[in-house]
């Protein structure tokens, strides 16, 4: 691991399985230090994953704030106290304002359970089955003001089987999420990945999403 691992803050809303993939990677050779895990919901399993790994676990409960701006101002304060080089949305189920996105522009990434631009938003697995697509998957992307519309960094594809249900399809996609999310974080931590003028640059050159 690099002697100066990249400081990272991870935002979650639930069980934190992608968080666990990041924690496991950091315990191996992923060159990051997860300084805090922040949830907008108290009592979720991801907070316990953080505590078990010795990581600061914090809650900024959005239901306690009168409006989105007040909530995000508090969230920014909690995040920035850890001086992160990268903020990772790992199942963070809140739509973020343009002001929040601008504050972290170029160092805010998300993972979404579809092959964006297909199926932005919620219920992606059921929608993929309803649409009858042959392939489904996951996308890691930089976050921009458009929900699930930021430029993709890396995607993973899985075949859609005739026997699939939303749950079986979700499980296969999740396995791929755990693989590609740490990869994108590694590229960023190694200084190989950046966002410039709305485009992804990898190793200093404009790059389309890698499919793995």
- C-beta separation of 36 from 55 below 8 A: yes
Say how many residues make up the chain.
Answer: 212
- Residue 65, token pair as written in the block: 């704030």
The greatest distance separating any two alpha carbons of the chain, rounded to the nearest whole angstrom, comes to 49
- C-beta separation of 178 from 210 below 8 A: no
- C-beta separation of 132 from 164 below 8 A: no
112 included as an active-site residue: yes
- Residue 196, token pair as written in the block: 């410039």
Q: Which of 62, 82, 103, 112 is catalytic?
A: 112
Place of tokens 């930021």: 150
Q: Give the active site residues.
A: 112
């Amino acid at each position: 691991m690099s002697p100066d691992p990249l400081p990272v803050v991870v935002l979650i809303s639930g069980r934190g399985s992608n968080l666990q993939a990041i924690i496991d990677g950091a315990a191996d050779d992923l060159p990051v230090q997860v300084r805090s895990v922040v949830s907008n919901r108290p009592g979720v399993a991801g907070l316990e994953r953080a505590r078990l790994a010795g990581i600061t676990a914090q809650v900024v409960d959005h239901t306690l704030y009168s409006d989105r701006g007040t909530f995000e101002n508090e969230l920014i304060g909690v995040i920035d106290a850890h001086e992160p080089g990268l903020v990772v949305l790992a199942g963070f189920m809140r739509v973020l304002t343009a002001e929040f996105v601008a504050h972290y522009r170029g160092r805010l990434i998300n993972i979404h359970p579809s092959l964006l631009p297909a199926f932005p938003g919620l219920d992606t697995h059921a929608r993929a089955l309803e649409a009858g697509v042959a392939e489904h998957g996951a996308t890691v992307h930089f976050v921009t003001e458009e929900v699930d519309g930021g430029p993709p960094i890396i995607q993973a594809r899985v075949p859609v089987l005739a026997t699939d249900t939303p749950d079986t399809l979700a499980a296969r996609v999740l396995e791929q999420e755990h693989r590609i999310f740490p990869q994108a974080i590694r590229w960023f931590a190694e200084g190989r990945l950046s966002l410039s003028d709305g485009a992804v640059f990898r190793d200093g050159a404009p790059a389309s999403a890698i499919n793995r």
